[in-house]
Structure 1
Amino acid sequence: MTRRTAWGTYARITDALRQRITDGTYAPGTRLPSEAALCAEYGVARNTVRRALSALQDEGLIAVRTGVGRFAQDGATQPRTHSEDIAANLRHQIETGHFQPGDAIPSEAQLSRRYGVSRATSRTALIALEAAGLATCVHGKGRYVRQDVPR
C-alpha cells in the first residue's frame, strides 16, 4: 500500500521548522531531529520530510554534515548569494502584506534592473519563492503570490 500525502504538506513542515529555527527552539548549531523522528512527528513519508529539509537548506537555515546530521544555522551570519538576498526581500514583502495573494511579483527583467543582477540570478530568486510555496508561475503571464499563502 502506498502512502499518500496531502499536496503542499512539505511546505507546512518547512514553515513549522523555519519557525522553530527563527524563534530559537533550534538555536544555531543545534542538531535537528532525524528524518525518522520528523516522519513520525508529522506522519509523513521520508521524501516529504527530505523536501522540507532541502528547502530549509536552500534558504541557508540549516547545514548538512554528512554522516552526522542537519544543524540549525544563524541565517543572519551566513553569507548569502544575490538570489538569496532577492528572495529574502520578496519573501519579507509577501509576509508583511506589501504583496497580497494574487498580486503579480516583479518580472525577472524588473528584478534584474532593480538589483543590478543578471536575469538568471533573478530567475533563481523567483524559483526559490515558488519552492517555498509563496509564488506560482503562470506560463506566459508571470509569477504571482499564491492565494493560499499562510499569514
Structure 2
Amino acid sequence: MTTARRTTWGAYRRITDALRQRITDGTYTPGTRIPAEAALCAEFDVTRNTVRRALSVLQDEDLVKIRPGVGRFVHDPTTDPTAQALPRYLSIAADLRQQIITGHLAPGDMLPSEAQLKKRYGVARYTARRAFRSLEEADLITCVHGKGRYVRQDVPR
C-alpha cells in the first residue's frame, strides 16, 4: 500500500520564492528553460500540483512564459514584441519587496498606508491594495485590521 505524499500549506510559496530568486539573481537568465515539473517535484519534495501552482504565480507575474510542447522559459521582454512593462501593482510590490530584503524596512516596521502609496506612486487606491496583497501572499507582510500593514517578524534575509 502506498501513501500519498503530504505537502505542507504554503509550500508553493517557498518554491515560487526560490524560483523567483533564481530568475532575479541570474541563475536562470532570460530565455533559459525552467527545469521540468518532475525535476522540481524531486528537488522540493512536493507534488506536481504544488509545483504547477508555484509556476502559475510566476506566469501571472510575467516572469515565466510557456511555449506549448516545449516547456516553460524565463520571459525575455527584449525578444517578445508583445511584452509590456510590469503592471504598476507588481512594480510597487517589487519596490517594497526590495526595501524589505535590503533592511530599509525592518521586521515589525509599519508600511506606508494605501493613501500614502497612492500619492507616492500616482496610482489608484486599488492598485496600492493589490501591491499589498501580492506581498501578503508572499508572506512578507501582515495586515493588522484597524492598525496597518507591517513587515513580518520571520522574513528570511
Output the TM-score relative to the length of structure 2.
0.83
Q: Which residue of 2 aligns with 1:145?
A: 151
Alignment of 1:69-108 (within 5 A): 69-74=71-76, 79-108=85-114
Distance 1:105 1:117 in 2: 17
Counterpart in 1 of 2:15?
A: 13
Gaps of 5+ in 1: none
After superposition, the C-alpha distances for 1:42-95 in whole angstroms (9 at most, x for unaligned) are 110123212322332233321233443221124798511211111111011101
Corresponding position of 1:60: 62
Is it true that 1:48 corresponds to 2:50 in the alignment? yes
Note if contact 1:134-1:149 (Cα within 8 Å) is conserved in structure 2.
yes
Q: Which moved more, 1:122-131 or 1:21-30?
A: 21-30
Match for 2:155: what amino acid?
V
Gaps of 5+ in 2: none
* Identity within the alignment, %: 68
* Pairing of 1:28-43 with structure 2 (within 5 A): 28-43=30-45
1:4 aligns with 2:10: no
Look up the match of 2:116.
110
- Bigger CA radius of gyration: 2
| In 1, Cα distance between equivalents of 2:156 and 2:96 | 15
Check the 8 A contact 1:101/1:145 in 2, yes or no.
yes
Distance in 2 (alpha carbons) for counterparts of 1:86 and 1:139: 21
Cα deviation for residue 120 of structure 1 reads 0.6
Give TM-score scaled by structure 1 length.
Answer: 0.86
Q: How many residues align?
A: 151
In 2, Cα distance between the equivalents of 1:141 and 1:73?
38
Task: Identify which range, 137-146 or 110-119, moves more after superposition.
Answer: 137-146
